[in-house]
Structure 1
C-alpha cells in the first residue's frame, strides 16, 4: 500500500529522545521544551512560541487567552478538520460557518463581512491542505470591525503568504505536530504570536497558572489548563525541525510532478498556487470533475484496489449532528468541494515511481 501521508524520521530523533531518558527529564519540564519553542519561534519569525500537547489545544488556548467565551461568535470555514470548530465550542462560543474558494479551498474572504454581528469576536481562517488564506484582505476586515484573527496553520507549516510564514500574520497562529503533519512529535502543537504579553499569558494558562512560592509551594491565582508538551516529545520535535526545509522542498517537488502528470487528464483539476502564496503542499489535493469517467468515491475505491491510499476532502462540519443548527452563510462551494475533492499520497518519503503509479491508475 502506498500510504496517504506518514512521518519521515531520519535525523537526530533517537539521540535527543535518548538524552531525555538518560537524564530522566521526560515530563513537561526540560531543556528540549524551551529549545523547541525557541527554535520554532526563530523558524517562523514570531516573537513568542508556546508549545502545547496538540494543535486543538493550541487553538483552544488562543481563544481563552484572547478572552473569547460564552455567547461570542467566531467565523470559521465549514470545510475543515473539526478541531477548530470543537475548540470554539469548548470555550462556550458559537461557530458561524463561512464558504470557501473553489480554486484554493480556503476561506472566502469576500463572504466574511456579511456574517459579522455584534456578537462576533474573532475570525478563524484555516490554511487548509497548505494553501494560505488571503491574509491582507482578511486583516483589513478584522481591523475594520475590531476582531481578532486566529490562524489555523495546523496543515500549513512552512507555507508563506507574501514571503511571511503563515501563522504569523494574525493575532495568533496555531500549528500541529500530529503523526501525519510535515514535522511530527507524535502528538503536539504550537501557539505563536507577535504580541509578547499575549504569549506570556498563553504560557501561564497552559501550565495550570502555576506560581511557585518561595517555600516551593504551588499557588494558582485563576483557573488554568494542562496543555503542556512532555520533554520527550519536544526533543523529537527539535530533531524534526532540523529537517524541515528539505521536507518542504520534497513536498513542493512532488506536487509539481503530480501537476505535470495530471494537468492534461480530462476531468482532473489540479491544485493552484496563487502568485502571493507558497504552498507547503501538506497534502496533494485535486478535484474530480463531471467529465472524469468515475466519481470521486469510485476513484478512491479503484485506487485502494491498486494498493494506493487516498481520502476525500473533509466532510463539511455544518452537516454533522453537533453543528447542524449553527449559523452560516451560503455554503455552495463547500458542499461542491466535498463531493469532488480527493487527497493523494503525499508523504515526504514518496518516490517518483510511486507518484507515476498513482497517476497511471488515475489516467486509465
Structure 2
C-alpha cells in the first residue's frame, strides 16, 4: 500500500530534488514556496510569464506578493533571461519560469541572472513532468519546483500536486505552512464556484478576442478573493488518488514517449501547411503536454478550432495574457501577438493515428481551401 512518504520519495528520485511535499494542488505548492521565501526575504514582487495559467498570478496575490509580468518568446512560448531581466526591480523576490506545454525554459542562463541578483527561482514543471533540460529533470533546477496531478496533466490523478526543494533549510518553514492548510474537500458548492471561476475567465477572454483593446482587468481581478479557497488544500489522502499518482510515475517514461510520438505525427502531417508555424521545442525536452502551434490569421484560428470541435477533435486556445486579465497591461508585444493565434492539440491516449490524421486533414482544409468556410468533411 502506498504512503505519502513513499510517493514523495519516488518524486525525489524522478525529479532529482532533496525533498518533495505532496500538496492539494499545484497552486498550493506555489503558495507554500512563496510563503517560504517571504519568511526569509519578506514579500515583494514575483516575475511571472504573462503566457501561462492565470492561477500562478492569483496564488501569488493570495500569498501576499505582487505579480509582475514578463513577455515570452514567439518561437516556443516561454520566457528567457532577457525578458526576465527587463522586469527586475529592487522589490523582486522571485521568478516563476514555466515550461509551457512541455517546452523548456533556458534554465541555466536564467539561474545565472537570478543568482547574481539574489532572486529565488520557483520552477513550474506542471506541464513538463518527466522532461529534461541539458540532461537534468525539469522541476529540479530551481530553489523550488512545482508539479500538478490534475485531471489533464501528464500524471493524471484528478487532484494533487507537489512542491520540490533542493535545500534542507526550507523544510521546517514548509512543514509549518503545510500544517495550516485546510484538508482537501470536494463539495457541490466548491464545484459550482470552480465552474463560476472558469466561466469568468473564458468570458473575459472571449471579450478580449472580440476587441483586444478592452480593459477587463477590474472584472477579473476584483473577483479573485471569492476563489481563494479553491487553490489551497492539503494533499487528499485518498487511496485511489494516491494509487493513480504512484502508477503515473511508474509509467511516466512510457507515457512521455507515446506523447512525443503523437507530437511527431502532428508535426509530420502539418509541416509545410500554409498559414501556420509549428513549434518543435519539445524535441529537446522530450515531453509534450499539448502540441501547440500558431495560426497567423486569428479569424482562421477560430474557424479551425470550431471545425475541430464540431468533428469531435479536442482543441483549445490557451492561454490569454495574464497581464491583460490581471492589470490591463498590453505592452508585451510577443505575448499580444501569440494570444489570439495559439492552437493546442491533445497528445494523450485519445489521439490515436486515425484521430491525428483526421485532425490534421481538417486543419489543412480550413487553411488551404480558398474562401473562409473550407470543407466540413472529417
Would you say same fold, with TM above 0.5? yes
The alignment partner of 2:38 has SS state of coil
Q: Would the aligned equivalents of 2:324 and 2:330 in 1 still touch at CA under 8 Å? A: no
1:218-229 alignment to 2 at 5 Å?
227-229=234-236
Q: Would the aligned equivalents of 2:103 and 2:281 in 1 still touch at CA under 8 Å? A: yes
Q: Give runs of ≥4 in structure 1 deviating > 6 Å.
A: none
Q: Deviations over 1:256-313 (max 9, x none)?
A: 11111001111121112278x31411101011024x9x62111111112222120002
Q: Would the aligned equivalents of 1:206 and 1:228 in 2 still touch at CA under 8 Å? A: no
Is 1:280 aligned to 2:287, yes or no?
yes
Is 1:324 aligned to 2:327, yes or no?
yes
Q: Residues 302 and 226 from structure 1, CA distance in 2 versus in 1: closer, same or farther, beyond 3 angstroms?
A: closer
Q: 2:220 is matched with which residue? A: none
Is 1:163 aligned to 2:135, yes or no?
yes
Is 1:153 aligned to 2:153, yes or no?
no
Q: Return the match for 2:300 from 265, 273, 295.
A: 295
Q: 1:245 is matched with which residue? A: 253
Q: 1:270 is matched with which residue? A: 278
The alignment partner of 1:115 has SS state of coil
Is 1:143 aligned to 2:111, yes or no?
no
Is 1:64 aligned to 2:38, yes or no?
no
Q: Residues 32 and 235 from structure 1, CA distance in 2 versus in 1: closer, same or farther, beyond 3 angstroms?
A: farther
Is 1:347 aligned to 2:348, yes or no?
yes
Give the TM-score of the pair, scaled to structure 2.
Answer: 0.78
Gap regions ≥5 residues in structure 2: 182-231, 366-378
Q: Would the aligned equivalents of 2:46 and 2:65 in 1 still touch at CA under 8 Å? A: yes
**Within 1, Cα distance between the matches of 2:144 and 2:180?**
20
User: More displaced, 344-353 or 90-99?
Assistant: 344-353
Q: 2:186 is matched with which residue? A: none
Q: 1:117 is matched with which residue? A: 89
Q: Return the match for 2:14 from 36, 43, 46.
A: 43
Q: Greater RCO between the two (CA within 8 Å, min separation 6)?
A: 1
The offset of 1:107, in angstroms, is: 1.1
Gap regions ≥5 residues in structure 1: 1-15, 17-30, 210-224
Q: Deviations over 1:104-138 (max 9, x none)?
A: 10113212222211111111111111111010111
The alignment partner of 1:350 has SS state of coil
Structure with higher helix content:
2
The offset of 1:324, in angstroms, is: 1.4
Give the TM-score of the pair, scaled to structure 1.
Answer: 0.81
Q: Return the match for 2:242 from 221, 230, 234.
A: 234
Q: 1:260 is matched with which residue? A: 268
**Within 2, Cα distance between the matches of 1:32 and 1:71?**
34
Q: Would the aligned equivalents of 1:207 and 1:228 in 2 still touch at CA under 8 Å? A: no
Q: Would the aligned equivalents of 2:80 and 2:110 in 1 still touch at CA under 8 Å? A: no
**Within 2, Cα distance between the matches of 1:131 and 1:324?**
26
**Within 2, Cα distance between the matches of 1:164 and 1:134?**
12
Q: 2:65 is matched with which residue? A: 93
Q: Would the aligned equivalents of 2:157 and 2:244 in 1 still touch at CA under 8 Å? A: yes
Is 1:84 aligned to 2:89, yes or no?
no
Q: 1:219 is matched with which residue? A: none
Q: Deviations over 1:145-167 (max 9, x none)?
A: 10000011111111211011111
Q: Would the aligned equivalents of 2:148 and 2:162 in 1 still touch at CA under 8 Å? A: yes
